[in-house]
Amino acid sequence: MSDLDQPIKLTSFSHGGGCGCKIAPGVLSEILKKSSGFPVPKELMVGIETADDAAVYKLNDEQALIATTDFFMPIVDDPYDFGRIAATNAISDVYAMGGTPIMALALVGMPINKLPLETIGKITEGGAAVCLEAGIPIAGGHTIDSVEPIYGLVVMGLVHPSKVKRNADARAGDVLILGKPLGVGVLSAALKKDKLDAEGYAAMIANTTKLNKPGKALAQLDGVHALTDVTGFGLLGHLLELARGAGLSAELEMDRIPLLPGVEQLAHEGFFTGASGRNWDAYGHDVELGAGVKETGRILLSDPQTSGGLLVSCDPGSVDEVLALFKRDGFEHAAVIGRMAEGTARVKVA
């Protein structure tokens, strides 16, 4: 029996899955340390300075172009679901800038001699289905023969220059709101060890394939000051980027943070990704955990979120409107989780 005749388990091809594949924050910082010497045109509204979700280039007084790319190895074994998750994750960066996606290019790397063409086709079909839901075409792309399966998108979008929502514009006194529950990395770790039940898998797929469409409407609110999405660096990592960009401190309330069903117990049983530990090693020195925060809480706060939720920093008077926009689009778990305050760029968790 050849490799192509064996039952396909996509996650067995990858050393890491989803946004857990990201290079650790500390290592990435070293890599990018010498990347800031090139000329920056005045039209470039958002570049690499604050590790934002996408680049933004001003075209004219009415339009700015958003450009982003995201790709990774399989986080699930079902090829169609893998394609959906990867596409949803990539498109999220446009929503996180407050924009409207307009077009995508597919990035496809596959071990051609090990995966049936039908399986590869299902991956790309899953990605195309999400793009259809987002109302954009896949207008091209690039394919290579690679050792591990890789799929993702380059996504472009448009936004009015005055409505761009950066991750660096939070203000002291802002309220923090999270759009999706945490725990995707924990569920993926359990899945890889065949310890995730059907209910847990369904919750994971529902969470990771839900497009962050409220981003565009949130960008129209003057009271929304900063916006980002929570992905591979976990809630703490992306919140620290927000805090550092604004020169502020962030405060979280652990018991208000929404979690996917069953993830606390799974984390307690030892199901978590290596990326969670790498994340904590990179930024744990800038996090103050309260006495009541358990080890499972620390794991979940640094848990890599594939296609995670939007993190909003808004003035207190806009909280009800922000939550209403989330609820309108079916984000029932959206919740107030903390606030921004004057102080050193750190995160305090109570």
Enzyme catalytic residues? 19
- Give which of 282, 286, 287 is closest to 304, Cα–Cα: 282
Cα–Cα distance between 269 and 146 in angstroms, integer? 34
- Give which of 97, 93, 32, 87 is closest to 64, Cα–Cα: 97
Which tokens is 8 given?
């396909």
Query: 109-140: b or e for each residue (b if 16 or more CB lie within 10 Å)?
Result: bbeeebbeeebbebbbebbbebbebbebebee
Cα–Cα distance between 126 and 80 in angstroms, integer? 5
Q: Considering Cα of 5, then 7, then 9, then 12, what sign does the dihedral take?
A: negative
DSSP 182: B
Find all residues with CB under 8 Å of 42, minimum gap 6, and list them: none
Provide the greatest CA pair distance for the chain.
65
